[in-house]
Copies of this chain bind each other. A is one copy, B any other.
Amino acid sequence: MSSQKRSERAVTPMSEDVSGWYNDVVTRAELADRGPAKGTMVIRPYGYAIWELLQRQLDDRFKATGHVNAYFPLFIPESYLRREAEHVEGFAPELAVVTHAGGEELAEPLVVRPTSETIVGEMYAKWISSYRDLPILINLWNSVVRWELRPRMFLRTTEFLWQEGHTAHADEADAMAETLRMFDVYDEFARNVAAIPMVRGEKTPGERFAGAVRTFTIEGMMRDGKALQSGTSHYLGTNFARAFDITYQDRENELQHCHTTSWGLSARMIGATILAHGDDRGLVLPPRLAPHQVVVVPIGRGDQLDATTAEAQRLAAALRERDVRVLVDTRDQSPGFKFNDWELKGVPFRVELGPRDLEAGVAVLAQRVGDEDEDGRARKHPVPLAELAAGMPARLDAYHDALVARAQAFRDAHTAVVDDLDAFTAQVAHGFAVALHCGDPACEARIQETTRATPRCIPSEGDEESGPCVSCGGASAYGRRVVFARAY
């Protein structure tokens, strides 16, 4: 699909212009394209294959923790949103509204779901009557719509793909345990699938989900030192249960309000993956999200090409037997074109197979990152053909681990404890600042105005600490330091 033309131009270097780099990579690696309606996005097959891998692996984790999937309608009566005061205040400015349908004006406008707490609440109220019906542990895979003024592919689009979990429980303890369980699932998933070590913690009150009592977040560090919120888990208390009358008879036959939770992770995680691992040559995909973990490029002309192609197919079959996702690139293009194309598309391992390699019983293996020579080029290693397939699963795991370690080292190098505003300002220009803060929303707002940084979270693993606020000098809140950063 005209990838030839696009690959001929180099990608804007990340070091020059992250934003230009990001758009180039998304478009030229054929992950996505802008849609015709403002702020919408078409996810192309290569990008959607990443989403399918993400979805499958996250869904497996949901099912392993006792959840089931369901589907709730796209359209929500406008009045539902208004039943939870903070919720409507948070979402009203972003709503898309259907006013006409079937050739007529609707008596009550319908909102295109921005999130489903309200409609789920309405149905849970119908379904739940006794403590025996609890907990309800449901997840939804769908898309939601939030009108965006500054859209950016995968990161902020008018419509985006995600999952939203909605659970109802008998009491706070059970609902909080669920909130933290899914927070853990997200954190483990981000590290073990997307290869991103997250900073995990609780949101400050000003950054909570609209209608939540507590919000927990995983925050990834991108290659430009900015933070990207990658998944959130909310304890909603009885806020939605009261608004939608979700009640149950307890063991003593007393009517009680349920405690509910919700938690969501979206296709933003693809944006996080691009921005956490990519480099000037393009995408760097973690193996567990890579549609092709290995690409084999047969080299030669005429009969020789037939022979190397046949051997490449045998190798691919052996790799598939070991559950390795492999593609044999038989396109009518030069090897150099193919190498560049798969480099741009972030494929973890490339195998070259030429006539001389075939004679020697080897293939030439190169990995996308982590094994470069002094000029920064990927080293090429001859590997005996007989051993290549058997060793590949371990190589992919090692590559994953190396990406995690690299991201962790980068994050550590770009994170600093700061105690005054100058150091804070310098630090958030290229990383995370760990600082004491008074917790006053007005002080948060001043910090954002002057430094463009916001409190990302109160980290779960922070030591107890108190002292003067980094900005105003007032007494610190939260009993520990807060992570601040500029955020996507």
Using CB atoms and an 8 Å cutoff, list the residues of chain A in contact with chain B. 1-2, 33, 35-37, 40-45, 47-49, 51-52, 68-77, 80, 92-103, 109-110, 112, 119, 122-123, 126-130, 132-133, 136, 138, 142-143, 145, 147, 149, 158-159, 161, 332
Q: B101 touching A95 by the CB < 8 A rule?
A: yes
A74 touching B36, Cβ below 8 Å: no
Nearest chain B CB to A246 CB, angstrom units: 13
Instruction: Please give, as numbers and ranges, the residues of chain B lying within 8 Å of A143 by CB-CB distance.
Output: 71, 74, 142
Q: Which of B44, B112, B126, B136 contacts A98 (CB 8 A)?
A: B112
**CB distance A1 to B128 under 8 Å?**
yes
| CB within 8 Å for A102 and B98 given contacts A76-B36, A133-B1 | no
Question: A48-B70, A110-B37 known; A1 and B127 CB under 8 Å?
Answer: yes
Q: What number of copies of this chain does the assembly contain?
A: 2
Given A96-B101, A96-B102, 9 more A-B residue pairs with CB atoms under 8 Å apart are: A37-B76, A40-B75, A41-B73, A42-B123, A95-B101, A97-B98, A98-B98, A101-B158, A132-B332
- A159-B70 CB under 8 A given contacts A102-B149, A110-B37, A127-B1: no
**A123–B145 alpha-carbon span in the complex (Å):** 21
Q: Check if B36 sits within 8 Å of A2, measured CB to CB.
A: no
Least Cβ distance of A146 to chain B in Å?
9
Which residue from B36, B40, B45 sits with its C-beta under 8 Å from A68? B45
Could you say which residues of chain B place their CB within 8 Å of the CB of A33? 123, 126-127
Contacts A1-B128, A112-B98, A147-B102; is A119 near B70 (CB within 8 Å)?
Answer: no
11 A-B residue pairs with CB within 8 Å: A35-B123, A36-B76, A42-B71, A42-B123, A44-B70, A75-B158, A94-B102, A95-B102, A97-B101, A99-B100, A100-B109
Question: Cβ of A49: which chain B residues have Cβ within 8 Å of it?
Answer: 68-69
Measured CB to CB, the nearest residue on chain B to A99 is B99
Q: Is the interface of A mostly helix, strand, loop or mixed?
A: mixed
Q: In angstroms, how far is the closest chain B Cβ from the Cβ of A364? A: 27
Q: Nearest Cβ distance between residue A20 and chain B, in whole angstroms? A: 20
Shortest Cβ distance from A160 into chain B, in angstroms?
10
Q: Which residues of B contact A42 (CB under 8 A)?
A: 70-73, 123
Cα distance A101–B149 in the bound complex, in angstroms: 11
The residue on B at minimum CB distance from A148 is B102
Known: A2-B127, A112-B112. A45 touches B73 (CB 8 A): no
Q: How far is the CA of A42 from the CA of B126 in the complex (A)?
A: 12
B35 and A48 form a contact (CB under 8 A): no
Q: How far is the CB of A122 from chain B (nearest CB, A)?
A: 6
Contact of A77 among B36, B77, B92 (CB under 8 A): B36
Contacts of A36 in B (CB 8 A): 73, 76-77, 80, 119, 122
B75 touches A37 (CB 8 A): yes
**A69 to B119 CA separation, bound complex (whole angstroms):** 29
* Cα distance A36–B119 in the bound complex, in angstroms: 8
Shortest Cβ distance from A145 into B: residue: B74
Tell me the smallest distance from the CB of A129 to a CB of chain B, in Å.
5
Residues of B within 8 A of A136 (CB): 1
Q: How far is the CA of A158 from the CA of B128 in the complex (A)?
A: 26
Using Cβ atoms and an 8 Å threshold, which residues of chain B touch A1? 127-128, 133, 136
A51 contacts across to B, CB distance below 8 A: 71
Task: Collect the chain B residues with CB atoms within 8 Å of residue A161's CB.
Answer: 71
**Cβ-defined contact, A159 with B75, below 8 A:** yes
Q: Determine whether the beta carbon of A73 is less than 8 Å from that of B133.
A: no
